[in-house]
Amino acid sequence: MVLLGTPSVQLFNVYPRLGALLQLHRPVLRKIEEVRAILRTLLGARQSPTPGEGLAHSYVDALIQQGQDTGPDGLFAEADVMACVLDMVMAGTETTSSTLQWAALLMGKHPSVQSRVQEELDRVLGPGRCPRPEDQRALPYTNAVLHEVQRFITLLPHVPRCTGADTLLGGYLLPKGTPVVPLLSSVLLDKTQWATPRQFNPEHFLDADGRFVRPEAFLPFSAGRRVCVGESLARTELFLLFAGLLQSFSLRPPPGLSPAGLNTVPAPAFTMRPPAQVLCAVPRPQGC
């Protein structure tokens, strides 16, 4: 993902013929092939489940089982399984890990917000009980903070698309096959949709009574038919990891640095990654 955000790759995206001539995309392809090699080893080491044995124990097991049921000419041949797993790894791990890094950084920078999240977690969950997916409704402030993290960081503001048919947009004709780059930050940071769009403010997702609300302008996973297929999984995963982290630790700047001194200017990459810096995780007695 770091390579995908380099100026050379961006030049390749804008001027593909020039990029192909200069071989600007080669480092990215090499890294993808390295990931493929690792995945081939992991897939080969898995014991194939018995066809029709019942529920699969993992995503990979489900893919393999589908391949056994449909045969080598079906939709779940070996190459298809590899493509699905590669999508999961590349689209699911980087986005989740970067969002959690941002969440940790923003909690260190906004200690009052962090304290309020921890107070809610302690009150609702009690000592020693780990958060569960069904706890989200009982934790409106925690949920609001996590949504505000995703809005504020605009992790993937410019994922390219391509028109599948001739399209008329704003009086302009976009012929079939036209590359289109939707700018999600134009919505996530729109001053007509958010009270303080350039500030980290969890109140964007709370009503006057402190209940969680989700405005229509919240679109970090994009919209329409090409919305992120892993949205529901990502939401649950982020909630469990974020709530569990703040239940067990308090996040603070290193000695000698104030919260205001933490840097929140994104590092250049395909995703808007947080800049590398140090945080201190102080254990809390209420951890699960």
Q: What is the CATH number of the domain that holds 272?
A: 1.10.630.10
Query: pLDDT for 95-121, tens place per residue?
Result: 899 999 999 999 999 999 999 999 999
State mean pLDDT over 117-130.
94
SS3 70: helix
Residue 213 inside a domain? The answer is yes
pLDDT cut 90: percent of the chain above it: 47
Would you place residue 253 in the very low, low, confident or very high pLDDT band (cuts 50, 70, 90)?
Answer: very high
Known binding residues for heme are 228
What is d(CA 111, CA 259) in angstroms, rounded to the nearest whole number? 8
Query: pLDDT for 52-110, tens place per residue?
Result: 556 667 777 787 777 766 666 666 777 888 888 888 887 778 889 999 999 999 999 99
Q: Other C-beta atoms within 10 Å of 205: how many?
A: 21
Task: Give me 223's structure tokens.
Answer: 């919209």
Is the model's pLDDT at 158 over the cut of 60? yes
How many residues are given for the chain?
288
What is d(CA 51, CA 69) in angstroms, rounded to the nearest whole number? 7
Query: pLDDT for 203-250, tens place per residue?
Result: 999 999 999 999 999 999 888 777 887 888 889 999 999 999 999 999
Residue 199 inside a domain? The answer is yes
Query: How wide is the angle at C-alpha 250 spanned by C-alphas 151 and 98, nearest 5°?
Result: 35
Domain count, the chain: 1
Amino acid, res. 43: L
Known binding residues are 228
Residue 62 inside a domain? The answer is no
Residue 19 inside a domain? The answer is no
The pLDDT value given to residue 208: 95
Residue 112 inside a domain? The answer is yes
Residue 38 inside a domain? The answer is no
Range of the domain at 220: 77-283
Residue 268 inside a domain? The answer is yes
The pLDDT value given to residue 76: 73
> Is the whole-model pTM more than 0.95?
no
Residue 53 inside a domain? The answer is no
β 280-283/172-174 pair status: unpaired
